[in-house]
Structures are given as structure tokens and as C-alpha cells.
């Protein structure tokens, strides 16, 4: 099916007009309208059989044309229409100074129009960009540049300023294009270019360095790894300084051997004045070893103008040779001794050996371990320590005193030593030596005083002491003893006796009791004092035991002052019950002796300087320790029972050694038992007739 409608001609020419060229439903002047389905591919026909609407691309175009099919049909028409293929065109070439290569500069594009049968159908564009050039500025030897040294410039524009800066000892000459502008700014740039700043030296190169030193000396021997170098800087230009160095170290004097180090030109800090020695320059390349090898070196300096001196004369240095291992290691002057004491600490020594004649051993390093492979417990690693005096080759070192962790008795320890020579080079370790620490005697046991353990009554003013000697080394004997006697159990009181270390003769057989050792200190008295004592022994290896447990003894002494004094069963009564009161007190004796006698004083004065009412003198009695005495009945000057007088009394006891106590405290009683109580209140001063 097809649908086509032709409008009447509106202008002097005739052409076809399609729906997308219609304005307001009509063709432009000179065109006729065509709804050509075939050129618009499949077009939906009108939804009704009226000539109202042609739908194209979902856009309604209003025109009086008809569609003859239903909405489900499609229109195809083979009728001829205008249009066809759109033609082509070629834009003009870019103007001079432009190209089709993209730049960030301005544009000047060229455009042409394309046509088909119905007229123009599009355009073609040639994109043209203003050319861009690169200006490059380079500093020649002897100076630097400031400013932007690489500049991208749009054609005909200007760059930015670049300044040539000569180094000290140089001057700016010109640019490579012969320009002497400085700073220079390039304008109206029409090409890429490179410009080099030329400088000319104004100073003279330094002369060769002199007096080259290694480690502060000329051609030294015994050099250890990481030596340092220096030389004198020389320059004919007054005021110049040496600012850079280059050092070469080689295995051959012609420098054709193995290169050990070539530093290249390096900055020297601080700069060195003319005639002055450079700072020390530390070796910094292939590792050197203590192998006795000789190496050759030379140095040159560059001055502040950037000119370099010739090489110095060739210098040399010879590496140190490592000392060989120490020999004949001794402990306490013995080879692998047993029975070594810990106090004083053991000491060590060995022979210093070195292939370099004249070297000395100035440091030592001792290791002590619980294992012969030195993989056990490290008891001591001295680290490198100064050895005084220094030890010559083939000579024995001074004694080196052990200063490690506490050594255990009866244990074997292993040790080795190495020495460092006067160049600081450490030898290999010696062969492994060992020593065994002797056992201490064990703590003395079963200490006795007067053959008793902690006796509570010693009458002998020179008591005797003893204890058992024990030692894990069964062959040892007890050779010495020390006894301390003190007034305090912590031995911080008064020292009554300290024997210090005293020979025991004969020596005590192991696991046997010592002899009875008589007291010989500050005089003891029979005063009941408790003293504390302890003992220790030295064995035949001269090792001392720890102190025994603390023992004590009490000297025989008087009873203590009587206590808890009663009169008629009362303490200091205000009225006694009779004219013949009774007296009692508690008896105590530190030696647990019984009382054998007593004495009572009754007096009118509390100082016992008044009227003596009763003084019994020493009277026999029997009282067990820590018990109350019998009641002793008053038998002195008669009491009236009504005088109201206060009397004072005291008592003391004698023990079975006939030692008397101090007087008791002063007691009192009132002679006034004839009194009246009214309503429970005592009415004193009322006499009963």
C-alpha cells in the first residue's frame, strides 16, 4: 500500500518537500509536499481513514493527505522523490602558522558545505591550531641558570627571563647564538631553539695536595679497617678554598691493580683553606681486613671555582695483623684447678701472642660459662676491658679478677680469653680452660653452751661453747672458727665477745663436734642476763660456712622484784582488818629457782627513812617459782587499829643460790579498822568506845 499527496505549487520552482521540511503544515515556496513511506522506511499509517495526520518519528505533521489502511498496516511506495545521497566537500588548508596538530594555543578553523538533490545537507570542518615552539636553555661548564630553562611558547609570543650565573672563579661570556643579554627574554618566537650559556674560568687550578696522611701519619703500619685520610690543600689563587676531594685506593702503586675505593668527587666539609690540612676523610668502600696487606692511595682536591688539582704523590698504609690466640690459660695461677674459692674471687691470666713485632696486648675479653661449648648459662662476659699494664708479646697478662654472677659451690665452670692489641684488633679465643669451685662447709649444727642447748641458768662466768662441723667435701676438716656473743638476738646490741677467725687445734674431723671453747670476752656476771651467740667454721680449703642458728644462755641471777603485794589480801587497803595484818607477794626467778628466804620492812615514811615499825631481817621460807608467798603476819611495833596512820611496806626474796632480789615496789595500808559504815559510806574519824 502507499499513500502520497501533492500540494499545489507555491513558487516559481518545483521540488519535493518531505515531512521534516514542512513548516506549519505547508511546503516552502517552490516545493510540493510528499509523504514517501519508502524513503522513511516503515511509517505508521493514520489511525483512521481520514486525511488528517501523517506520523513520522512520533511527531505529528499536519497536512491534507490520506492513508488508506488501518493502524496495523504499513505504507510502501515506489514513487520517485527528491533527496538521495548527501554529497561531500573539502575545507581549505590551514593558514600559515597553523597546523592540524593540537596545541593549547589559538585556533583558525576552515569549513565547507555539503549538498544533495534537495539542497545543502551538512558541512565539513578542518581544525587548525596555532603552532607552539620549545625554547631550551642550558648552562655550560662553570655556571648555573636561574629561571625556567624549558619554555613552551605559542607562535609569535614571548618567553620569560633566564639568567646565567657563573660559579666562583668563572665569568659569563655569551649564549650559543652569540647573544650577550643576561638575563635574556626571547620575543616573537617563530621556531624551537636551544641556547647554551658559555662561561670562562677566571682562576687557576689547585696544585697537587701534599703530605698525605693515613690515620694522622705517613705510610703507617698496623692500620685497622676504616682508616681515614687527609692532605694539605694548595692553590696559587689567594682566597680559594678546597671544597671537594677524590681519593683512590688500590692494591698496586701504579693504580692498575684492584680498585679498593674510588670516591669520585665528593663535597669536603668544612672547606679547607690554602696551606691547611683537609678534614679527615674516612675510607668508605670494599672491606679491609686485618691481614697485613699494603694498600696505595692518592688524593686530589677541587677548589671553589670548580677546578681540580693533579693527584698527590702516592702514599701507602699496611693493615694490622690479628693477634693469635692466647695460650696457657691459668686460673689462680693453676691449670684447671679444683677447690677454687669464691672469696676472694678467682682470677685468670694467659700469654699474649702477636705476629707484629712491637705490638702489645692492651685489652682482654673473658667469658665464663656453665658449659664447655659456651651454650650454657653465661656467668660472666667481661666485654672488652682495659688491661693494665699492657702485655708484651710472649708475656703473661696481669691477673684478671672474676666479676660475674655468683658462683655455686661444687660446680665446674669453663672459661676462655681473647686479647686486643694496641691497634684495637681482637685475637681469636684461647683454648677452653676450667675450674671447680670448692664446697662451703655446711652450717654448724647442734650448738651447745655448757653442753646444753639454750640453758636457762649458767653459773660459770666463763661458759664453754661447741658445735658440729660438717662439710660436703668429706676429706675437709674444720680449721678455724668464729664465735660471737651479743646482748641482742640480731647481734645489733652490745658485743660481749667476737673471737674473729681463730685456729681450731687440732682441726675438727668432718661430722664431729668441736672442742669446748671457753668464753673469753667481756666479764659476765651472775645477774640473770640472757646472751645470744652463734658460731661458724672455716674448712681446710679456707672456705667459711654460714653462721649457725642463734643460740642463747641465761646467766644465773637473783629473783626479780616481788609483785602483786597484798595486805590482809588487799592492795594498799585504807583500813586494815586487824592490828596484826598479813603480808604476801608473788615470787619470780628467771632461773626458775625457788625462794629460800624473805625480808619485810614497814615504815612510817614512804622512803623508809621514818619510824621503823617492823624489819624482819632475812627469814627462811619456801616458795615455788612464779607463785605467791605464804601470808607473813605482822610482828612489829603494836598497831592500834584506830590511829588513822598510813604505813609503808616492801618485801624481797632470796633464791636457792642465795641471790637476793630487788625490793618490791612500795605498798601502803592505813591503821584504822575501827570505823562505822552508814548507808554504805565509811565514816572515818568516829571512834568506837
Q: For 642-679, what is each residue's pLDDT tens digit?
A: 888 999 999 999 999 899 999 999 999 998 876 533 33
Model confidence at 355, pLDDT cuts 50, 70, 90, reads very high
The mean of the pLDDT values for the chain is 86
Grid cell listed for 405: 654472677
More confident residue, 537 or 22: 537
520 neighbors 462 (Cβ within 8 angstroms): yes
E strand or H helix that includes residue 208: strand 207-214
* Banded model confidence at residue 119, pLDDT cuts 50, 70, 90: confident
pLDDT(450) > 70: yes
Contacts of 368 by beta carbon, 8 Å cutoff, 6+ apart: 378, 379, 380, 381, 402, 404, 413, 414, 415
Which residue's entry shows cell 676523610? 281
Alpha-carbon span 265 to 243, nearest angstrom: 10
Question: How much is the average pLDDT of 204-214?
Answer: 95
| Cα 92 to Cα 61, 95, 111, distances in angstroms | 39, 9, 7
Q: Homologous superfamily of 563-681 in CATH?
A: Immunoglobulins (2.60.40.10)
Find all residues with CB under 8 Å of 185, minimum gap 6, and list them.
Answer: 158, 159, 160, 161, 162
The two beta strands, 627-628 and 619-623, are unpaired
pTM above 0.85, yes or no: no
Q: Are 91 and 127 in contact (CB under 8 A)?
A: no
User: Where residue 33 falls among pLDDT bands split at 50, 70, 90?
Assistant: very low
Which has more pLDDT, 689 or 641?
Answer: 641
**Share of residues in the chain with pLDDT > 70 (%):** 85
Give the mean model confidence (pLDDT) for residues 33-54.
Answer: 35
Q: What is the mean pLDDT of residues 305-328?
A: 95
Kindly tell me if the per-residue pLDDT of 179 is higher than 70: yes
pLDDT digits (tens, 9 = 90+) for 241-250: 999 999 999 9
pLDDT band at 410 (very low <50, low <70, confident <90, very high): confident
pLDDT digits (tens, 9 = 90+) for 595-636: 999 999 999 999 999 999 999 999 999 999 999 999 999 999
Number of residues assigned to the chain: 689
Which whole-number Å values give the CA distances from 38 to 18, 27, 53, 105, 411, in the listed order? 12, 20, 17, 49, 118
Report residue 139's pLDDT band, with 50, 70 and 90 as the boundaries. very high
SS (H, E, C) 245-285: EEEEEECCCCCCCCEEEECCCEEEEEEEECCCECCCEECCC
pLDDT tens for 1-23 read 333 333 333 333 333 344 444 44
275-307 pLDDT per residue, tens: 999 999 999 988 999 999 999 999 999 998 889
- Shortest CA distance to 310 belongs to which of 202, 169, 203, 206? 206
Maximum CA pair distance of the chain?
A: 186
Residue 497 and residue 401: Cα distance in Å, rounded?
35
Contact 591, 557 (CB under 8 A): yes
CA distance 365 to 381: 7
Task: Say what the pLDDT of residue 675 is.
Answer: 54
CATH architecture of 445-554: Sandwich (2.60)
Q: Identify the band that residue 577 occupies on the pLDDT scale cut at 50, 70 and 90.
A: confident
β-bridge pairing 512-513 and 464-469: antiparallel
pLDDT of 201 reads 77
Classify each residue of 522-538 as buried b or exposed e, where b means 16 or more C-beta atoms within 10 Å of its C-beta.
eebebebeebbbbbbbb
Cβ pair 419, 323 in contact under 8 A: yes
- 584-605 confidence digits (pLDDT tens): 999 999 889 999 999 999 999 9
Fold type of domain 207-318: Immunoglobulin-like (2.60.40)
What pLDDT, on the 0 to 100 scale, is given for residue 343? 82
Between 338 and 19, the more confident residue is 338
Chain centroid to Cα 526, Å, comes to: 64
What pLDDT score does 674 carry?
64
CATH class for domain 324-436? mainly beta
Task: Report the pLDDT averaged over residues 367-389.
Answer: 97
The per-residue b/e assignment along 162-171, b for 16 or more CB within 10 angstroms, e otherwise, is: bebbbbebbe
Higher pLDDT, 79 or 485: 485
What string of DSSP letters covers 54-79?
EEETTEEEE-S----S-TT-B-----
Cα(685)–Cα(671) distance, integer angstroms: 12
Banded pLDDT at 71 (limits 50, 70, 90)? very low
Decide if pLDDT at 39 tops 90: no
Give percent of the chain with pLDDT exceeding 90: 72
Please tell me the predicted confidence (pLDDT) of residue 678: 34
For 558, counting Cβ atoms within 10 Å of its Cβ (0-12 exposed, 13-18 middle, 19+ buried), the class is: buried
Q: Check for a shared fold between 207-318 and 563-681.
A: yes
- Name the pLDDT band for 84 (thresholds 50, 70, 90): low
Residue spans per domain, the chain: 1-82, 132-201, 207-318, 324-436, 445-554, 563-681
CA proximity to 612, closest of 645, 649, 640 = 649
pLDDT-derived band at 153, boundaries 50, 70, 90: very high
How many angstroms separate the CA atoms of 352 and 367, rounded? 17
Is the pLDDT at 490 greater than 90? The verdict is yes
Query: For residues 582 and 671, what is the distance between their CA atoms, to the nearest angstrom?
Result: 13
Angle among Cα 392, 397, 398 to the nearest 5 degrees reads 125
Amino acid at each position: 500500500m502507499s499513500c502520497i499527496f501533492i500540494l499545489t505549487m507555491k513558487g516559481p520552482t518545483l521540488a519535493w518537500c518531505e515531512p521534516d521540511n514542512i513548516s506549519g503544515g505547508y511546503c516552502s515556496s517552490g516545493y510540493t509536499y510528499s509523504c514517501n513511506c519508502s524513503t522513511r522506511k516503515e511509517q505508521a499509517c493514520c489511525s483512521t481513514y481520514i486525511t488528517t495526520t501523517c506520523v513520522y518519528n512520533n511527531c505529528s505533521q499536519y497536512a491534507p493527505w490520506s492513508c488508506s489502511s488501518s493502524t496495523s498496516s504499513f505504507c510502501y511506495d515506489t514513487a520517485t522523490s527528491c533527496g538521495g545521497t548527501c554529497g561531500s566537500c573539502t575545507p581549505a588548508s590551514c593558514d600559515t602558522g597553523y597546523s592540524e596538530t593540537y596545541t593549547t594555543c589559538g585556533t583558525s578553523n576552515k569549513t565547507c558545505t555539503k549538498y544533495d538533490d534537495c539542497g545543502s545537507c551538512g558541512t565539513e570542518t578542518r581544525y587548525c591550531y596555532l603552532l607552539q615552539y620549545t625554547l631550551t636553555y642550558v648552562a655550560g661548564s662553570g655556571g648555573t641558570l636561574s629561571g625556567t630553562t624549558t619554555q613552551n611558547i605559542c607562535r609569535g609570543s614571548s618567553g620569560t627571563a633566564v639568567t646565567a650565573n657563573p660559579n666562583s672563579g668563572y665569568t659569563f661570556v655569551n649564549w650559543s647564538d652569540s647573544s650577550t643579554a643576561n638575563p635574556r627574554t626571547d620575543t616573537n618566537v617563530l621556531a624551537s631553539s636551544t641556547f647554551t650559556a658559555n662561561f670562562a674560568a677566571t682562576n687557576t687550578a689547585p696544585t697537587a695536595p701534599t703530605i698525605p696522611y693515613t690515620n694522622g701519619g705517613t705510610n703507617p703500619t698496623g692500620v685497622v679497617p676504616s682508616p681515614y685520610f687527609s692532605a694539605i690543600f694548595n692553590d696559587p689563587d689567594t682566597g680559594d678554598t678546597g671544597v671537594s676531594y677524590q681519593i683512590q685506593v688500590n692494591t698496586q702503586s701504579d693504580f692498575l691493580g684492584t680498585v679498593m675505593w674510588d670516591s669520585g668527587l665528593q663535597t669536603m666539609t668544612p672547606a679547607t683553606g690554602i696551606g691547611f690540612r683537609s678534614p679527615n676523610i674516612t675510607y668508605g668502600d670494599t672491606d679491609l681486613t686485618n691481614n697485613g696487606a699494603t694498600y696505595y692511595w692518592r688524593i686530589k682536591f677541587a677548589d671553589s671555582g670548580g677546578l681540580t688539582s693533579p693527584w698527590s704523590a702516592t702514599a701507602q698504609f699496611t693493615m694490622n695483623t690479628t693477634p693469635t690466640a692466647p695460650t696457657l690459660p691459668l686460673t689462680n695461677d693453676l691449670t684447671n684447678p679444683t677447690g677454687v674459692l669464691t672469696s676472694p674471687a678467682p682470677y685468670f691470666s694467659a700469654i699474649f701472642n702477636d705476629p707484629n713485632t712491637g705490638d702489645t696486648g692492651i685489652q682482654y675479653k673473658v667469658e665464663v660459662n656453665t658449659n664447655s661449648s659456651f651454650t650454657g648459662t653465661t656467668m660472666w662476659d667481661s666485654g672488652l676491658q682495659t688491661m693494665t699494664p699492657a702485655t708484651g708479646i710472649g708475656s703473661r697478662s696481669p691477673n684478671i679478677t672474676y666479676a660475674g654472677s655468683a658462683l655455686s659451690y661444687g660446680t665446674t665452670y669453663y672459661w676462655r680469653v681473647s686479647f686486643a692489641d694496641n691497634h684495637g684488633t681482637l685475637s681469636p679465643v684461647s683454648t677452653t680452660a676450667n675450674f671447680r669451685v670448692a664446697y662451703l662447709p655446711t652450717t654448724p649444727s647442734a650448738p651447745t653452751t655448757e653442753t646444753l642447748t639454750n640453758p636457762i641458768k649458767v653459773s660459770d662466768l666463763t661458759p664453754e661453747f661447741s658445735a658440729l662441723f660438717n662439710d660436703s667435701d668429706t676429706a675437709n676438716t674444720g680449721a678455724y672458727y668464729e664465735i660471737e656473743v651479743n646482748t641482742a638476738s640480731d647481734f645489733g646490741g652490745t658485743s660481749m665477745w667476737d673471737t674473729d677467725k681463730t685456729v681450731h687445734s687440732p682441726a675438727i674431723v668432718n661430722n664431729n663436734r668441736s672442742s669446748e671453747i671457753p668464753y673469753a670476752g667481756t666479764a659476765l656476771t651472775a645477774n640473770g642476763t640472757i646472751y645470744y651467740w652463734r658460731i661458724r667454721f672455716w674448712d681446710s680449703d679456707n672456705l667459711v660456712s654460714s653462721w649457725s642458728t642463734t643460740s642463747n644462755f641465761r646467766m644465773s641471777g637473783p629473783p626479780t622484784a616481788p609483785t602483786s603485794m597484798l595486805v590482809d589480801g588487799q592492795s594498799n587497803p585504807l583500813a586494815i582488818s586487824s592490828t596484826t595484818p598479813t603480808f604476801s607477794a608473788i615470787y619470780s626467778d628467771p632461773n626458775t629457782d625457788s625462794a629460800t628466804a624473805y625480808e619485810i620492812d614497814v615504815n612510817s615514811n614512804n622512803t623508809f627513812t621514818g619510824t621503823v615499825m617492823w624489819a624482819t631481817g632475812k627469814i627462811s621460807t619456801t616458795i615455788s617459782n612464779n607463785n605467791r608467798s605464804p601470808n607473813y603476819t605482822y610482828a612489829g611495833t603494836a598497831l592500834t587499829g584506830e590511829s588513822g596512820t598510813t604505813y609503808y611496806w616492801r618485801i624481797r626474796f632470796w633464791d636457792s643460790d642465795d641471790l637476793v632480789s630487788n625490793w618490791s615496789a612500795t605498798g601502803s595500808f592505813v591503821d584504822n579498822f575501827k570505823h562505822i559504815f552508814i548507808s554504805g559510806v565509811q565514816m572515818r574519824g568516829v571512834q568506837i568506845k
